[in-house]
Amino acid sequence: MASIIGVNEIQHTNGTSAATIGSDGFFSGTMTSGGRQSLASSNGYTWTGIPSTAKRIIIVYRLYFTQASDANKTTIMRVGNGSIVSSGYETASSYIDSNSADGAQADTTGFHSYYWNNGDQNQFGKYELTNLDGNNWVVNGQAAFTEVAGASTAGVITHSGFISLTSALDRVQLKIKDGTTTYNANSEASLWYIG
């Protein structure tokens, strides 16, 4: 016969509440905020100090930016271990829009969000990294977009990929790929991790 320990809260030794078990059996308090960042007038942001125990990392975002029809003007997420890694990604992203246009593209420099066109863009969605084993990570995500200048176009984006790091992941970066284009006002992103 299995033994049962009847508790509804697990606390850290300093007395703060670390996790709660609800009467429905669901666990809460295990997701940690890495912080919300305004991206307005910046090319992006890098979250550092992610613990080696993290097994799932989620970035949610709402972005406004003026794009050109150029692959380097798209949003890209990269990870790192001591510094950001900019090669070795196995990743693909695809989109379909309200004009029945679609496309797919691979990238080895980061987990990119495949859609670019001339004009102002609104984009909102998430990237979700999950630890496969060791220092190997799989990403999945999705986003939606609208163009607010020129022809009014809306669509959806999916992105997936894999990266193998040489040591424990400790940072995640969200940015515009070219390194110079900046996000407009009200752009923001938040990072969360589990583990």
Q: What's the CA gap between 58 and 43, in Å, rounded?
A: 20
Instruction: Specify the pLDDT at position 142.
Output: 95
Query: Please, are residues 98 and 153 in contact by the beta-carbon 8 Å criterion?
Result: yes
Tokens of 72: 């380097």
- If pLDDT is split at 50, 70 and 90, which confidence band does 115 have? confident
Domains: count for the chain? 1
Q: What's the CA gap between 72 and 81, in Å, rounded?
A: 24
- pTM, two decimals, is 0.83
Tokens of 180: 């110079």
- If pLDDT is split at 50, 70 and 90, which confidence band does 113 have? confident
Assess if residue 12 is contained within a domain. Answer: no
Q: What's the CA gap between 65 and 182, in Å, rounded?
A: 7
Taking the alpha carbons at both ends of the chain, their separation in whole angstroms is: 30
Instruction: Specify the pLDDT at position 16.
Output: 64
Assess if residue 3 is contained within a domain. Answer: no
Range of the domain at 184: 31-194
Q: Would you give the distance in Å from CA 158 to the centre of its chain?
A: 12
pLDDT in tens, 83-99: 999 999 999 999 998 88
Q: Which residues of 163-179 are buried (b: 16+ CB within 10 A; e: fewer)?
A: bebeeebbbbbbbbbee
Instruction: Specify the pLDDT at position 98.
Output: 87
Assess if residue 4 is contained within a domain. Answer: no
Mean pLDDT of 55-78: 88
* Residue with more model confidence, 18 or 160: 160
Assess if residue 23 is contained within a domain. Answer: no
What Cα–Cα distance (Å) separates residue 130 from each residue in 16, 72, 139, 145, 170?
Answer: 27, 26, 6, 24, 14
Assess if residue 22 is contained within a domain. Answer: no
Assess if residue 19 is contained within a domain. Answer: no
- If pLDDT is split at 50, 70 and 90, which confidence band does 183 have? very high
- If pLDDT is split at 50, 70 and 90, which confidence band does 148 have? low
Assess if residue 13 is contained within a domain. Answer: no
* Residue with more model confidence, 71 or 173: 173
Residue 191: name the closest of 94, 116, 126, 96 by CA.
126
Query: Please, are residues 148 and 120 in contact by the beta-carbon 8 Å criterion?
Result: yes
Query: Please, are residues 108 and 176 in contact by the beta-carbon 8 Å criterion?
Result: no
- If pLDDT is split at 50, 70 and 90, which confidence band does 7 have? low
Q: What's the CA gap between 88 and 189, in Å, rounded?
A: 25
Instruction: Specify the pLDDT at position 150.
Output: 53
